[in-house]
Structure 1
Amino acid sequence: MPSRFAMVVDSSRCIDCKGCMASCKVANRVPDGHWRNWIKRTAPDFSQGSRTRMHFQPGGCMHCDNPTCVAACPTGATFKDKATGEVVIDRSLCIGCGNCIPACPYGARYRHPELKVADKCNFCRERREHGLEPACVDTCPTKARVFGDLDDPDSEVSRLLRENQVKVVRLTSAGTDTKPNMYYLGGTAPRGWPVEPREPSSMTALASLAGPLVKGAVALTGLGVLAMLGRQVLTSRGAESPETDHKE
């Protein structure tokens, strides 16, 4: 049966230990200088004196229902998996163009320096195939992250969303709702960091050319059809006129 995988994050539990980041890096062999997940933080307000606090917010690829990265991919290498709801990358189709990287509002993608393809969180698919949870979930000492199937009403993620309906936050940029499948509980912060997805210049140029090209193709096709019709009319007229008999 199809699933709809998602992650629920209670960022009030996060202590910024970075265990999730380290375990992800090891489990997925993420190259130096790159990360598949992160922890955002608020700036401390020291005017609060002894009550000064910081808020830590774990994150990663949001596996959106309206993924702008998919629209930016010219080869179909990035797509929404109908069986799991995940946004995945088929490395055999990826040409490493990088179009998807600025198209992600969350900065969740990077170009793998060795494989020369786009890379990001895949909810630790290899671990799940062996019955294990994603590394970030498994490692978190405070259980700030919960992973599961939203289509399973008995899953922990479904229960948490039912019990916290009025408190659920989905982080989006100001102008684009990607419908992310990473849900935050309560007063998560910071909230304003997702950026507006940027369509790569190569795709913009292609779109600008598409209009004239399509119009030209339609015009040529129309001329071809008219020529064929004209030929058929002339041929039919010739067939209807009997040849004149010449008598000597």
Structure 2
Amino acid sequence: MDFARRTLLGQMARLTAGAALMPFSSLANAGINAQPSRREGDGSKRYAMLIDLRQCIGCQACTVSCHIENEAPLGSFRTIVSQYEVENEDTGDIATMMLPRLCNHCEVPPCVPVCPVQATYQREDGIVVVDNEACVGCAYCVQACPYDARFINEYTQTADKCTFCAHRLDVGLLPACVESCVGGARIIGDIRDPDSQISRMMAEHHDDLMVLKPEQGTSPHVFYLGMDERFVTRPLADPAIWDVRNSEGKEIGYEFAGH
């Protein structure tokens, strides 16, 4: 990616991160298909996640705990941590960088309006979820997601994704990935509460927050602190840490092709 384009995308990423602090009525006119009415959840809250890349060590505890908590099929993940080797443009030095990824629970989620049965919907608190009893497995939402955050669960034959562990949040618990993060890199909370940890961090680091693929206009609500501008387009990554094998022992890699 050339320097001018990377700089522009970096500026867009910061602007999009700042959009989370704008009135939601302004974001509703983002130009994406009309969104169905939200349902369920506490409308007085708006959940978001901040990932402090300065604290992420790539231990994959979040990936494993999420996989166990949500009983995802072997080889399918609701959250992953991509590993990159990044070259310093000035010195040529190589550094290893980590990039945790998950559903961005966008303010204007493109996955919601394409669902023909409204099985994918957004809660009043901003969390995007899937009603597995209604989902017909058409995969329209999988194709609509610009963050490759969805997959068809081979067990249920329905769409699957990160839900911020809404079932845990609803009873006062942290999402599995947040609870297991040894570096404290994942912070989740209500950004409508000015006293929440995530609100305080967003205020303190407002100018440094970035999001993935800001050009999509979805207003992601997963924010990154300490992210290199080269990551805003989420480049491809090689499998990291270990291999995954299926029930027959065939190596299938740690991540799906294209992640």
If the length of structure 1 is used for normalisation, what is the TM-score?
0.72
Does residue 164 of structure 2 align to residue 123 of structure 1? yes
The higher radius of gyration belongs to 1
Q: Which structure has more helix as a fraction of its residues?
A: 1
- Residues 1:64 and 2:106 aligned together: yes
Deviation of 1:134 after TM superposition, in Å, equals 0.4
Offset, 1:70: 0.8
Higher strand share: 2
- 1:25-64 alignment to 2 at 5 Å? 25-45=67-87, 48=91, 51-64=93-106
Q: Of residues 182, 193, 212 in structure 2, which corresponds to 1:171?
A: 212
Match of 1:98 in 2: 139
- Preserved contact between residue 136 and residue 158 of structure 2 (Cα < 8 Å): yes
Distance 1:150 1:30 in 2: 29
Distance (Å, rounded) in 2 between the aligned partners of 1:151 and 1:169: 19
RCO comparison, higher one (Cα < 8 Å, 6+): 2
2:199 aligns with 158
Q: Secondary structure at the match of 1:101?
A: helix
Verify: 1:185 aligned to 2:225, yes or no.
yes
1:103 is aligned with what amino acid?
A
Deviation at 1:55, TM superposition (A): 1.3
User: How has the CA–CA distance of structure 1 residues 194 and 89 changed in structure 2, closer, same or farther, with 3 Å as cutoff?
Assistant: farther
Q: TM-score, normalised by structure 2?
A: 0.69
Q: State the Cα distance separating 1:130 from its structure 2 match.
A: 3.5
On the 8 A contact 2:85/2:94 being kept in 1, the answer is no
CA distance in 2, matches of 1:141, 1:35: 19
Taking only aligned residues, the RMSD between alpha carbons, in angstroms, comes to 2.0
CA contact (8 A) 1:112 1:118 kept: yes
| Stretch of structure 1 that moved more, 34-43 or 181-190 | 181-190
Q: CA deviation at 1:111?
A: 0.5
**1:147 paired residue number:** 188
Which structure 1 segments of 5+ residues have no match? 196-248
| Distance in 1 (alpha carbons) for counterparts of 2:123 and 2:233 | 28
Do the aligned partners of residues 187 and 121 (structure 1) sit closer, same or farther apart at CA in structure 2, a change above 3 Å counting?
closer
Runs of 4+ in 1 over 4 A off after TM superposition: 46-49
- Alignment deviations for residues 142-188 of structure 1 (CA, whole Å, 9 cap, x no partner): 111100001111111100100011111121254x2110000111334
SS of the counterpart of 1:53? strand
CA contact (8 A) 2:106 2:220 kept: yes
Partners of 2:211 and 2:232 within 8 A in 1: no
Contact kept, 8 Å, 1:65 with 1:179, in 2: the verdict is: yes
1:216-227 superposed matches below 5 A: none
| Equivalenced residues, count | 192
